[in-house]
Structure 1
């Protein structure tokens, strides 16, 4: 396993890499038609969940100093509410965007140091026990991706797809 410059990220790196595997696995075989389905008009669809997942990676990129812009930021930034009037990208588009940003973020996570991670990063959550710094923002992003992965896995089963695989593709190194 790659070793990050900051020991504070030693649990983040494997989680990030596992999220890469999970993201691709949970979307494997999902049709574009099914990816737009909602349950009783109340849930987000898989496209929205996948788009928000990718947008979170772009968020990490930005706080690490990468000048990358999510092409679908207007649809997903800060968990923007799903709007059926919007034209959402396809799963193929989101997966391509995911593969574009993810290795860059991974390299940046390996390179960031403790001083950079401790820089204040106001999120506006005003939670007394959470310091709003870059490290905690990255941690919250990891948590968000856990949540979205679970939601997509549940939707996968609801839509009558087999459970996602936890197999690992060794060729994906981010």
Structure 2
């Protein structure tokens, strides 16, 4: 009996609604955060805002690279191999991460909208096995929500106003 395959391409188009929202929220969640506060872990081992921001950017570049876009963020070496936060480092300015985010986001969006079913069904190696490319895209979109939420919490813990959401008609 032949296995039926889900039309994952239709799901990608749905994912793009979240992708566009995350693209706008990224700028809003890091808005007005000082570089000192971006590195403040409030005496915890939690990932600080600078690391979370750079990690978000790195994941978009990694996905773009897997879709044939040969570009890197300026701070790529800090995140190679999914490196965790490094206590002894001062990470680049949030503005630098924002520039890279704005550079890769439209390129990645176009590539995702043009990805074919064969690529979505392909598998990629992971530390504990493998997953389909489609599942990896889903994971990255979900992770963006999670990391933006963490930065939003850091904003409040550090005394900043809550992240603002894009208003109707505002550029996403």
Query: Smaller-chain TM-score range?
Result: 0.7 to 0.9
Distance 1:152 1:78, change over 3 A: farther
Whether 1:30 aligns to 2:33 is yes
Partner residue in 2 for 1:114: 117
Larger Rg: 2
* Length-normalised TM-score, structure 1: 0.87
* Length-normalised TM-score, structure 2: 0.88
Cα deviation, 1:80-122, whole Å, max 9, x if unaligned, reads 1211222311001110111111110011011111112111111
Cα RMSD after superposing both structures: 1.8
1:1-174 to structure 2, matched below 5 A, reads 6-126=9-129, 132-168=131-167, 170-172=170-172
Q: Is the 1:16–1:142 Cα contact (8 Å) retained in structure 2?
A: yes
Cα deviation, 1:12-48, whole Å, max 9, x if unaligned, reads 1111111111111111111122111112142221110
Q: Which runs of 5+ in 1 are unaligned?
A: none
Runs of 4+ displaced beyond 3 Å: 168-172
Q: Which runs of 5+ in 2 are unaligned?
A: 1-7
Q: Is the 1:156–1:163 Cα contact (8 Å) retained in structure 2?
A: yes
Of 23-32 and 76-85, more deviation after overlay is shown by: 76-85
